[in-house]
Amino acid sequence: MDTISVIRTKRDGGRLADEQIDWVIDAYTRGEVADEQMSALAMAILLNGMDRAEIARWTAAMIASGERMDFSSLPRPTADKHSTGGVGDKITLPLAPLVAACGAAVPQLSGRGLGHTGGTLDKLESIKGWRASLSNDEMLSVLRDAGAVVCAAGEGLAPADRKLYALRDVTGTVESIPLIASSIMSKKIAEGTGSLVLDVKAGSGAFMKTADDARELARTMVGLGTDHGVRTVALLTDMSTPLGLTAGNALEVRESVEVLAGGGPRDVVDLTLALAREMLDAAGLVAADPAKALADGSAMDVWRRMITAQGGDPSAPLPVAGEREVVTASSTGVLTRLDAYAVGVAAWRLGAGRARKEDPVQAGAGVELHAKPGDMVTAGHPLLTLHTDTPERFAYATEALSGAIDIAPGGVAFTTTPVVLEHIA
């Protein structure tokens, strides 16, 4: 095998043979294929695509580059969830303990935020003492004790993907659906879960801006899961408006705890329950009632055990930003649009997110919403509250919100978009 012939095959619109895929992934992981060569191949894949068999083999090669986890010793069926990311997407926090309270084991490997999308690990690290990095043995121990664990992926899990993802990030090839799908699914399949539910988001605050692109990604990932023996389904969900009423790390933890206590915003509760039902069904626990587990406090009990098992103090006060600034409604009427991407960028600029992986984040920074599309608002009354420890960021964050808010006269009829748009299996 040689790298140039592999690049040329895909550059000219050809299909990569299994042997070419296996060789190039292995050689790149070992450093025999240079970054500039893999960049050329990634761009050729972005431009010319891959068929289902190619994507399945590419995914298998990335899985084979590292270790595979095994949860077969657990007395419960395993179920996991992956979200493609959005603004205010705190769903993992109430969902993992909720599904565990209903009888499944939830091994949730999560990531950090980058740009306008928040990261689950960043949110949980706003809890005093909580640890994201666990060994495989520690992860298994937390699963046995609490039924759910949320942690960072270990170094040995799909190392080819870690290397390729960093390269795609700086070469303009992040948007390739075959590469997105194989990146996500290689880690999830290597993780060893028995079933997987995908939350694939569409809208301004998502990586997939249109429903058509999100649907294609969802179908590709469902196919990959099926081809690798993991029962996989997907929900296509709306990300044109932020989820819930908060975007920011400690702010979202607070809101998640409200959901676990039986309250919280309606859209967060609805999506949490919808995903929980899908996960329980995929795990064969069809008789379980997640709504009951929220109402009776059993999901909150699992949350407290899970946080404590990872060194956190679930009773400790959450960090609060030192400075606040209120954005008021410009007129009276019905709020018809609150753009998710703009809110995500504002939260990022306030310090809740990062531009580079090594950047620090502010635990208390973010955006708090006082209204959602469909609500009546009054001129001069609070619409958003901006939170940060560095008040010089306010102007930059407010700039991101310019043109992101539409208010129509009070008599205008308005129908909200449902949070779940489609089921894909």
Q: H or E element: which one contains 107?
A: strand 106-110
> Looking at residue 78, what DSSP letter applies?
B
> For the chain, how many helices (H) and strands (E)?
16, 13
Place of tokens 């450093």: 31
Q: Where are the alpha helices (DSSP H) in 348-400?
A: 394-400
Short-list 317, 389, 323, CA closest to 352: 389
| DSSP string covering 227-238 | HTT-EEEEEEEE
Q: What would the two tokens of residue 2 be?
A: 């040689």
Q: Which of 123, 187, 188, 215 is catalytic?
A: 187
Is 72 considered catalytic here?
A: no
> Looking at residue 66, what DSSP letter applies?
S
What gap in Å lies between CA 10 and CA 40, rounded to an integer?
Answer: 10
Q: Which of 39, 83, 183, 256 is catalytic?
A: 183
Q: Which of 161, 199, 227, 339 is catalytic?
A: 161
What gap in Å lies between CA 234 and CA 266, rounded to an integer?
Answer: 21
Sign of CA dihedral 59, 61, 67, 68: positive
What gap in Å lies between CA 194 and CA 72, rounded to an integer?
Answer: 9
What gap in Å lies between CA 124 and CA 339, rounded to an integer?
Answer: 25
Contact of 110 with 121, CB cutoff 8 Å: yes
Place of tokens 């040329």: 8
What gap in Å lies between CA 109 and CA 171, rounded to an integer?
Answer: 26
Q: What would the two tokens of residue 411 be?
A: 């008599």
The SS3 assignment for 369 reads strand
Short-list 304, 97, 59, 11, CA closest to 177: 59
Q: Which of 57, 82, 188, 349 is catalytic?
A: 82
Q: What would the two tokens of residue 28 be?
A: 């790149």
Neighbours of 286 (CB within 10 A): 9
Q: Which residues contact 147 (CB under 8 A, 6 or more apart)?
A: 76, 97, 100, 101, 104, 105, 106, 302, 305, 306
Q: Which residues contact 157 (CB under 8 A, 6 or more apart)?
A: 66, 67, 69, 109, 187, 190, 191
Is 168 considered catalytic here?
A: yes
Is 349 considered catalytic here?
A: no
Task: Please report, for residues 44, 63, 75, 107, the alpha-carbon distance to residue 68 in angstroms, rounded to integers and kept in the order given.
Answer: 29, 8, 19, 13
Is 131 considered catalytic here?
A: no
Q: Which of 10, 81, 123, 168 is catalytic?
A: 168
Is 183 considered catalytic here?
A: yes
Catalytic residues: 82, 161, 168, 183, 187
